[in-house]
Amino acid sequence: MALLEIRKVSRRFGNLKALDDVSLSIEAGEFFTLLGPSGCGKTTLLRLIAGFDEPDSGEVLLDAQPLAGIPAEKRPVHTVFQSYALFPHMTVAQNVAFPLQMAGKHPEEIGRRLGEVLEMVHLADKAQQFPNELSGGQKQRVALARALINKPRLLLLDEPLAALDAKLREQITSELIALQRDVGITFVFVTHSQQEALAVSHRVAVMNGGRVEQVGAPEQIYGFPRNRFVADFIGTINLLPVEVRVAGGDALRLVANGLGEIVSTPVAEASTGQRGAYAVRPERVRIFSAGDVCELDNHFQGTVNEHLYLGDVTVYKIALDNGAVLEALLANSTSGRTGFLERGAVVGVGWHRSAGVYLRD
Amino acid sequence: MTRGGRLFGLWTAALAVYAFLYLPLAVVVIFSFNDSLLNAEWVGFTTRWYGQLFENTEMLRAAANSLIIALGAATLATVLGSMAGIALQRWQSGFLRALPFLVLAPVAMPEILLGVSLLLFFRQVLDLTLGLVSILVAHITFSIGFVAIIVRVRLAGLDESLFEAARDLGASPWQTFRWVTLPLILPGILAGFLMSFTLSIDDFVITFFVAGVGVTTLPLQIYSMIKVAVSPEVNAVSTLLMALTLTLIALASKLAPDTLRGRA
């Protein structure tokens, strides 16, 4: 039995379906991420789990117990808010000890737990300071310590990194991963940033328009998107409109208008004559000199249209013969312009049949 | 016009406005120290009017009444007004949207109207003997709205997730109020108390209607004294009242700067 079961949950606000028949199950000890653009329902779902809101239909179970009717303060679920929501009139120590104080714990126990938790988030020396004297990263750690001090069954994190600058975000991301591993508490993390989601999660649920589009490990979500939305939302991907020529057998044969045949791995939902899109990630597309013999299943000729030099890699936009523009990544393994492709260069591009996926419309 | 000339014009205008506001008050303060019975010319410095004030038993009784009423009215209006302010901020849907209007209307109501209607209400409906209690109730009536506004503004300036965080971390609704809401709105509550106190201690119009015959407050006493002539004693008591009021207003604006001074 999963730690948290979300069964057919729906929630409307006026005409807006914030959640539309959502079902998910989250295992104990998991770092689970709800990923989606703003307005996709991820925060609504979080608020239902925390107890700030109740679903219109469906149910939420924690440890197989229905949570309906149980107020937020009685749920063994804590939240780290986007704004941190630190109490401005309390010191760091008072903020962090708040859950234990409210539970009426013995002062000796409070003191001991407080010491441990502050040590864990490296804030022992800041115990007597007020939140407005702390940096963004420190506030973040106070909020984490406060939410973890009485060991909830589940920790909810609502875009906790959104208010931090890029450098700090990266550092706190690593800290979060290590923290979750150490405390062993199940984390449910909400974000609109696919990078964050891929970096921290054991599993990701991609949400859109109140529905769950796909659930899976980061590499599954990224490598095998189930539909156009997921493919497009996570990372960059080349999408070519195609029609299925031959389905079944050991290969799926597609045809792209004006380009020719593309060979892909078979998928169950494909049938002959069906229209869809062929999706392939830029880093899976290989670039080679025009005229080189190529034993890749799919290879075409194109012209370098544009390039974006990013330091570690260069992104090439390559116009194919049918006018479609493909993005391809090339690692800059040498310094300077050696091995660099200039605009107008005629090149070959190709990829293995397992590199991309077919997505039906 | 040059920049210097424009600055000079602005400063002159500003000074003229302040003079218009404060010169009459300054005159009262100056003449309260004037060693002459007439408010006509400066004769010399004295504090004897203040001395006389503290031997005037009628005046002292009126002052005592005013303090009792102001303290009582401010305390009760603060409790009720704070509750109203919290309710106004928290429930803003449906017919409750009419509530702010109902609570705040007495603030804008002409005092004379409030005075007359309270008098009618006390005498004709409740058949109450006019005195301390009727004055107290009247003062609470017009103070609640002010407290409610100040407390509401204070609450509106706070992050809603603070209260959610408290509940989330295991605080019951009462614990959330006691440990999070109350400490955070306390400056607003204190400012509301000071405002009510000032409003009560110098109210004349409404008090005049609901005081009855037996009980006199400081403003009523001053009014009865100037029927004869503006004596230096009146100047002295006015100066003291002014000092008290200004101190309280200054304190209140320090406690709730966002309400009384515009957002800093």
Task: Express each pLDDT in A186-218 by its tens digit.
Answer: 999 999 988 889 989 999 999 999 999 999 999
Q: Name the closest residue on chain A to residue B160, using Cα atoms.
A: A85
CATH 2.40.50.100 segments of chain A: 236-360
B190, burial (CB in 10 Å: exposed 0-12, middle 13-18, buried 19+): middle
Does residue A72 sit at the B interface (CB-CB below 8 Å)? yes
Compute the 3-state secondary structure of chain B and give helix, strand, coil in percent, each to the nearest 5.
80, 0, 20
The model carries a pTM of 0.80
Q: Best interface-test mutation with A: which of B93, B159, B169 has the largest number of A CBs within 10 A?
A: B169
Looking at residue A25, its pLDDT comes to 94
Which chain B residues are within 8 Å of A71, Cβ to Cβ? 167
Task: Express each pLDDT in A278-326 by its tens digit.
Answer: 999 999 998 888 777 777 888 888 899 988 888 888 899 999 888 888 9
| Among the partner residues B159, B161, B167, nearest to A73 by beta-carbon distance | B167
Does residue B16 sit at the A interface (CB-CB below 8 Å)? no
Burial code of A146-164, b = ≥16 C-beta within 10 A, e = fewer? bbbbbebebbbbbbbbeeb
Task: Express each pLDDT in A236-274 by its tens digit.
Answer: 899 988 988 888 778 888 888 878 888 888 887 788 888
HSE toward the beta carbon, residue B111, CA cutoff 13 A:
12
pLDDT band of A63, cuts 50, 70, 90 = very high
pLDDT at A119 over 60: yes
Question: What average pLDDT score do residues A145-164 get?
Answer: 90
C-alpha distance from A192 to closest chain B C-alpha (Å): 20
Looking at residue A4, its pLDDT comes to 94
- Average predicted confidence (pLDDT) for chain A: 89
Q: Name the closest residue on chain A to residue B174, using Cα atoms.
A: A102
Global ipTM: 0.81
Cβ separation of B166 and A52 shorter than 8 Å?
no
Structure tokens at A269: 């939902």
Looking at residue A154, its pLDDT comes to 95
Does residue A85 sit at the B interface (CB-CB below 8 Å)? yes
Does residue A13 sit at the B interface (CB-CB below 8 Å)? no
C-alpha distance from A231 to closest chain B C-alpha (Å): 34
Looking at residue A146, its pLDDT comes to 95
Average pLDDT per 10 consecutive residues for chain B, totaling 264 residues: 80 91 87 80 83 84 90 95 88 72 78 89 83 90 90 90 94 94 91 90 89 85 80 84 86 67 38
Does residue A290 sit at the B interface (CB-CB below 8 Å)? no
Question: What average pLDDT score do residues A60-88 get?
Answer: 93
Q: Name the closest residue on chain A to residue B162, using Cα atoms.
A: A85
Looking at residue A188, its pLDDT comes to 95
Cβ separation of A79 and B179 shorter than 8 Å?
no
Q: Are strands A252-256 and A238-246 parallel, antiparallel or unpaired?
A: antiparallel
Looking at residue A337, its pLDDT comes to 66
Q: Name the closest residue on chain A to residue B187, using Cα atoms.
A: A89
Bridge partners (DSSP) listed for residue A301:
A348
Task: Express each pLDDT in A221-239 by its tens digit.
Answer: 998 898 889 998 988 899 9
The sheet carrying A4-13 orders its strands as A16-26, A4-13, A57-62, A65-66
Question: What average pLDDT score do residues A57-80 get?
Answer: 93
Looking at residue A338, its pLDDT comes to 65
Task: Say which residue, B260 or A351, is predicted with more confidence.
Answer: A351
Distance from the first to the final alpha carbon of chain A: 35
Cβ separation of B166 and A98 shorter than 8 Å?
yes
pLDDT at A33 over 90: yes
Distance from the first to the final alpha carbon of chain B: 32
- CB-defined contacts A:B, below 8 A: 60
Looking at residue B263, its pLDDT comes to 36
C-alpha distance from A70 to closest chain B C-alpha (Å): 12
Looking at residue B260, its pLDDT comes to 47
- Domain A236-360 carries which CATH code? 2.40.50.100
Does residue B182 sit at the A interface (CB-CB below 8 Å)? no
Q: Are A26 and A215 in contact (CB under 8 A)?
A: no
| Among the partner residues A52, A71, A146, nearest to B169 by beta-carbon distance | A146
Which chain B residues are within 8 Å of A77, Cβ to Cβ? 168
What CATH homologous superfamily does A4-231 map to?
Answer: P-loop containing nucleotide triphosphate hydrolases (3.40.50.300)
Q: Name the closest residue on chain B to residue A103, using Cα atoms.
A: B170
